């Protein structure tokens, strides 16, 4: 136990996350000093849309119910009618066979990931994560006593099957994928996803299972015609962890789910483990009210066109200024290269114009920044001169663009 009264491993994790906290705290300080409308905060991935009216209607109906038992504990996997509604949603959306009993209702995709990781990992097992990645994965994986192994994607942030093959060991238990991706907004192509699962399939067996853990909260926040692919349709040992946080704009309601398709090997035992952990990890179930709301509106969606318009506005303008970026196909982020190698220094330069972005190294790819476009369009418009000034400032830096 270190001197500050918290566990050593937690103190280390706090330290490794400190730059994210720093950005967040800087934003708060700047807003207090200058007023919120003078600060261009692109640091948070909090959905900026309103939830759809179907959600509010369902919420009003559920709030009016007075019959007894509505707010008591529910079965650990969720109310049967809510599981059935979400199973129907998964079948429509992903297109593979999945019985109603293959759904477990969780506290967001994050709750689902934690339940899944604890269900499948023994201490010392390895979970491969494709970088750039959502930084909380490391904490989830280590809390399940497993080890995160990073594998870089290619220069367009697409999975690199050869790099994956080289990283798989006897202890690899899962590969965690997230597409549309946080922080890049990139949607993995079906070809790359297939190549990735081909690599996994060659090493998978009942004695040494290799799961594909699909973290999918951004699935319906996409800007192009094609839906992201659904690897559970061809790689049976897939566990889906997803939520309505982003597409219904209800991230604070913690409405998530796990989906286990009919073809998952040893499915019954897996479901038993997931169901037990949904309780013993500290009741990380979706709450009762939300379960009943989603029973009524599982297929609804908020207006994604606002994110598409923001993507076009921001990415078009940044490219015109000379920023080097891969156009995001979904989610609410873009991950441009920084004009100087040290992206923390570049974040400092942006902060001089009251622009807050997040350095790429915490996402596993230095030399980039994450910009969230879950903001009002006028925030983007008013920040553009600052983005221009920051680029110009780098042209005078040795090694700058």
Ligand X SMILES: Cc1ncc(COP(=O)(O)O)c(C=O)c1O
Give the interface with ligand X as residue ranges (CB under 6 A).
Answer: 45, 108-110, 134, 178, 182, 215, 217, 243, 245, 251, 256
Of 221 and 394, CB closest to ligand X: 221
In angstroms, what is the minimal distance from the CB of 134 to ligand X? 4
Strand-by-strand arrangement of the 255-260 sheet: 103-107, 255-260, 238-243, 211-215, 172-177, 126-131, 147-152
In angstroms, what is the minimal distance from the CB of 213 to ligand X? 11
Of 2 and 252, CB closest to ligand X: 252
In angstroms, what is the minimal distance from the CB of 9 to ligand X? 22
In angstroms, what is the minimal distance from the CB of 347 to ligand X? 20
Of 175 and 390, CB closest to ligand X: 175
In angstroms, what is the minimal distance from the CB of 252 to ligand X? 9
How many whole angstroms separate alpha carbon 116 and alpha carbon 168? Answer: 19
Instruction: Report strand pairing: 358-359 vs 126-131.
Output: unpaired
In angstroms, what is the minimal distance from the CB of 384 to ligand X? 25
Long-range Cβ contact pairs of 57-62 (< 8 A, separation 24 or more): 57/296, 57/297, 58/292, 58/293, 58/294, 58/296, 58/297, 59/289, 59/293, 61/296, 62/289, 62/292, 62/293, 62/296
Of 89 and 387, CB closest to ligand X: 89
Of residues 239, 259, 286, the one with CA closest to residue 79? 286
> Any residues with CB less than 8 A from the CB of 159 and at least 6 apart, and which?
130, 153, 177, 188, 192, 193, 195, 196
Of 254 and 337, CB closest to ligand X: 254
Of 243 and 354, CB closest to ligand X: 243
Provide Rg for the chain, Cα atoms.
21
Of 214 and 295, CB closest to ligand X: 214
Of 245 and 275, CB closest to ligand X: 245
Peptide bond into 85 cis (omega under 30): no
In angstroms, what is the minimal distance from the CB of 108 to ligand X? 2
In angstroms, what is the minimal distance from the CB of 352 to ligand X? 28
């Amino acid at each position: 136990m270190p001197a500050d009264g918290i566990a050593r491993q937690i103190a280390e994790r706090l330290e490794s996350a400190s730059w994210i906290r720093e950005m967040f705290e800087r934003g708060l300080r700047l807003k207090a000093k200058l007023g919120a409308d003078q600060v261009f905060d692109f640091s948070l991935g909090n959905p900026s849309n309103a939830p759809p009216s179907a959600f509010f209607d369902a919420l009003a109906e559920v709030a009016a119910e007075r019959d007894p038992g509505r707010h008591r504990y529910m079965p650990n996997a969720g109310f049967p009618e809510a599981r059935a509604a979400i199973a129907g949603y998964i079948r429509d959306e992903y297109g593979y066979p999945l019985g109603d009993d293959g759904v477990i209702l969780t506290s967001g995709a994050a709750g689902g990931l934690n339940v899944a990781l604890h269900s499948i990992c023994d201490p010392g097992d390895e979970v491969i994560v494709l970088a750039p990645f959502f930084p909380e994965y490391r904490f989830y994986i280590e809390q399940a006593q497993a080890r995160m192994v990073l594998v870089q994607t290619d220069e367009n942030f697409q999975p690199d099957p050869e790099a994956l093959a080289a990283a798989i060991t006897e202890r690899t238990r899962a590969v965690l994928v997230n597409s549309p991706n946080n922080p890049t907004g990139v949607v993995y192509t079906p070809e790359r996803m297939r190549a990735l699962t081909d690599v996994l399939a060659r090493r998978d067996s009942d004695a040494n299972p290799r799961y594909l853990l699909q973290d999918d909260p951004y699935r319906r926040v996409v800007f192009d015609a094609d839906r992201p692919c659904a690897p559970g349709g061809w790689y049976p040992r897939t566990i889906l962890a997803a939520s309505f946080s982003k597409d219904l704009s209800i991230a604070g309601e913690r409405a998530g789910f796990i989906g286990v398709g009919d073809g998952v090997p040893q499915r019954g035992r897996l479901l038993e483990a997931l169901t037990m952990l949904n309780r013993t990890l500290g009741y990380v179930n979706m709450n009762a009210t939300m379960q009943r709301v989603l029973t009524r509106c599982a297929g609804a969606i908020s207006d994604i066109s606002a994110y598409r318009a923001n993507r076009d506005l921001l990415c078009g303008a940044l490219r015109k200024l000379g920023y080097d970026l891969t156009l995001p196909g979904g989610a609410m982020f873009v991950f441009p290269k920084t004009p100087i190698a040290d992206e923390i220094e570049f974040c400092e330069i942006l902060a001089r114009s009251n622009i807050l972005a997040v350095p790429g190294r915490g996402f596993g790819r230095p030399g980039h920044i994450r910009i969230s476009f879950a903001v009002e369009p006028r925030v983007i418009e008013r920040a553009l001169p600052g983005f221009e000034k920051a680029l110009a400032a780098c042209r005078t830096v040795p090694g700058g663009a």
